[in-house]
Every structure is written in structure tokens, then in C-alpha cells.
Amino acid sequence: MQTSTEIINGRAILRLQGRFEMNAHRDLRTCCHSALGAGEVKELELDLAGVEYFDSTGLGVLLLLKEKADIAHKRFILSNCGDAVKQMLDIADLREILCVA
């Protein structure tokens, strides 16, 4: 999976491309850690428009990232979720926990 990061008005936007699987966890965690450590960042947004595959292990990654954002007192947002991501969130009943824009 490829990621790009942009900070706009206190929001770190991580745009994801490719397959969102557990093996992407390390790289994504590093990107998120850098964004969460930036003093001007108040929100962390994962833009999932470019995600072409998402499975249940990706849900675990999202929950870990949400926990890290909560610890850093930052808002965690998912945006541009495709049907596959929305379906997985619904099956796992996580829409209440994860903010989906």
C-alpha cells in the first residue's frame, strides 16, 4: 500500500492507495505516528478513496490507529470509504466507534 500525507488547517490527511491489509500496518503506523506527533495537527484523516482491497485484518489496523489518535488527543476520521470498507465496518459494528465522514 502506498501513502501520501498532507497537512491542511490542523488536519493530517493520509491518502491510501492499494491493498489495505495487515502487512501494511508497519508503514501506515509510521506515517500516522509522524502526523500525530506534529503539534499543529488536531485531526488525523485516512482518505480511503484509493483502497482497492480491504479485509478484516484492516479493521484491526484501523482500531490500533484510532487508539493511538485517542492517546494523542487527536480526532480520527475515515473518509471516502468505498462499499467494501463500509460493509466491513457494518459487519463488525464499528461505525459507532470509528468516525466515518
Number of domains in the chain: 1
**pLDDT at 31 > cutoff 90:** no
**pLDDT at 22 > cutoff 80:** no
Q: How many helices (H) and strands (E) does the chain have?
A: 3, 5
Residues 65/31, Cβ–Cβ less than 8 Å? no
Question: Residue 7's domain spans which residues?
Answer: 2-100
3-state helix, strand, coil in the chain (%, to 5): 40, 35, 25
**pLDDT at 10 > cutoff 90:** yes
Which domain CATH number covers 12? 3.30.750.24
Look at residue 12 in the predicted model and tell me its pLDDT: 94
Burial 31-40 (b: 16+ CB within 10 A, else e): bbeebbeeee
DSSP string, 22-39: GGGHHHHHHHHHHHHH-T
Look at residue 56 in the predicted model and tell me its pLDDT: 82
Alpha helices in 1-101 (DSSP H): 25-37, 56-71, 83-91
